């Protein structure tokens, strides 16, 4: 079975507070873009993984491997899966590539093994793999709270060209949370909810979104801050960091400005553009 595992961006990201279990409560809007990994999944007696990105583990440390193991444990099935991953999503970039791959494996094997596990069970398994993995089981964009698993699906057909710029910098998510908590002395301010501010015009909603991690990531990495400013200078109506970084994205109202930005940044960085009103293909 061949499936596509799409990347996501965060249209705003607020850290609400730290939980007793050590995680943080967040508020964000997840939105898929037209950048994806390609997975070929076949039934096999054992679990095996191959990947075009040789820097990634292909053993039990890989989230896709863990996804197979969780499904085996849940269903009692003893067979495995042979998974080939063609990576296009940058690693450790705030785009959810590993999480999306894992969710694609859960979805595909639920079909291939005729398990008929309902969405609630799959979401429970997904959450064991990572806080944002449940989102990738959805078919639409979503407003998220909690660790990111409390999801409200929403139709968010953005009328903008989305230009990604990945500066080849890895930002550790645990470091970002720890540093932000230190920076704020453990105090996270209240603010209007993102889902009350969603809009599709340049004057409203999502275009006023912000990302709490920018204040500490920019201090550590001036190059990322510079990309944000350059996106605005090139005509982006919003430039924002995705997740805990390091990818920046800009929303552009016209294709010419977007293509100009792509040309400008592609001389030095990984760049990708998603067309307006993009809707990902379903793997079901």
Instruction: Kindly list the catalytic residues.
Output: 8, 132
What is the DSSP track for 209-269? --BTTHHHHHHH-HHHHHHHHHHHHTT-SEEEE-TTSS-EEEEESSHHHHHHHHHHHTTTS
Report the candidate in 44, 12, 5 with the shortest Cα–Cα distance to residue 26: 12
Q: How many CB atoms lie within 10 A of CB 192?
A: 9
Cα 73 from Cα 60, distance rounded (Å): 15
Calpha distance 50→223 (Å, rounded): 33
Radius of gyration of the chain (CA): 19
Three-class DSSP labels, 121-171? HHHHHHHHHCCCCHHHHCCCEEEEECCCCEEEEECCCCCCEEEEEECCCCC
Q: What is the DSSP pairing of strand 48-51 with strand 80-86?
A: parallel
Q: What are phi and psi of 152, to 5 degrees?
A: -120, 105
Q: Are 13 and 25 in contact (CB under 8 A)?
A: no
């Amino acid at each position: 079975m061949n499936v596509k595992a799409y990347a996501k961006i965060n249209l705003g990201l607020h850290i609400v507070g730290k939980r007793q279990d050590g995680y943080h409560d967040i508020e964000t809007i997840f939105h898929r873009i037209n950048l994806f990994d390609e997975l070929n999944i076949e039934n096999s007696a054992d679990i095996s993984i191959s990947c075009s990105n040789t820097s990634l583990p292909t053993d039990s440390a890989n989230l896709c491997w863990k996804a197979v193991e969780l499904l085996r444990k849940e269903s009692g099935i003893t067979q495995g899966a042979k998974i080939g991953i063609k990576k296009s999503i940058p690693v450790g970039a705030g785009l959810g590539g590993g999480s999306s791959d894992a969710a694609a494996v859960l979805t595909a094997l639920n079909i291939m093994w005729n398990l008929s596990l309902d969405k609630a069970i799959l979401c429970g398994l997904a959450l064991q793999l990572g806080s944002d993995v449940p989102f990738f089981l959805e078919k639409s964009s979503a407003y998220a709270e909690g660790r990111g698993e409390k999801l409200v699906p929403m139709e968010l057909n953005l009328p903008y060209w989305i230009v990604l710029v990945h500066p080849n910098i890895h930002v550790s998510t645990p470091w970002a949370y720890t540093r932000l908590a230190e920076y704020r002395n453990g105090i996270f301010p209240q603010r209007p909810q993102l889902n009350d501010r969603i809009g599709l015009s340049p004057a409203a909603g999502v275009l006023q979104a912000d990302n709490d991690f920018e204040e500490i990531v920019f201090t550590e990495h001036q190059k990322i801050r510079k990309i944000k400013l350059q996106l605005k200078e090139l005509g982006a109506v919003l430039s924002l960091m995705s997740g805990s970084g390091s990818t920046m994205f800009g929303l552009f109202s016209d294709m010419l400005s977007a293509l100009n930005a792509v040309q400008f940044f592609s001389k030095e960085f990984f760049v990708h553009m998603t067309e307006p009103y993009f809707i990902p293909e379903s793997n079901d």
